[in-house]
Structure 1
Amino acid sequence: MRIYVTNVFVDDQDKAEKFYTDLLGFKVKNNIPLGENRWLTVVSSEDPEGTELLLEPSDHPAVNPYKEALFSDGIPAHSFQVQDLDAERKRLGDLGVKFTVEPMDAGPVRMAVLDDTCGNLIQLIQMTNAAQ
Structure 2
Amino acid sequence: MSFAENRRIAIVTVVVDDYDRAKAFYCDVLGFECLSDEPLDDGKRWLVVKPPGADGGALLLAEADGEEQRRAIGNQTGGRVGFFLHTDDFARDHETMIARGVRFLEQPRHEPYGSVAVFADPYGNRWDLLQPRRG
Task: Give the TM-score taking structure 1 as reference length.
Answer: 0.81
Report if the CA contact (8 A) 2:17-2:63 is conserved. Answer: yes
Q: Percent identity among equivalent residues?
A: 29
Q: Which runs of 5+ in 2 are unaligned?
A: 1-6
Indicate the SS of the match to 1:122. strand
C-alpha RMSD of the superposition: 2.3
Query: Within 5 Å, which residues of 2 pair with 1:84-99?
Result: 84-99=89-104
Report if the CA contact (8 A) 1:41-1:54 is conserved. Answer: yes
Q: Indicate the residue corresponding to 2:47 in structure 1.
A: 40
Q: Distance in 2 between matches of 1:51 and 1:71?
A: 17
Structure whose alpha-carbon radius of gyration is higher:
2
Q: Distance in 2 between matches of 1:95 and 1:52?
A: 22
The CA deviation at 1:7 is: 1.6
- Counterpart code for 2:24: K
Report if the CA contact (8 A) 2:75-2:125 is conserved. Answer: no
Deviations 1:62-101 (A, max 9, x none): 344444556884x223111011212211111111111112
Q: Which runs of 5+ in 1 are unaligned?
A: none
Task: Give the TM-score taking structure 2 as reference length.
Answer: 0.80
Indicate the SS of the match to 1:77. strand
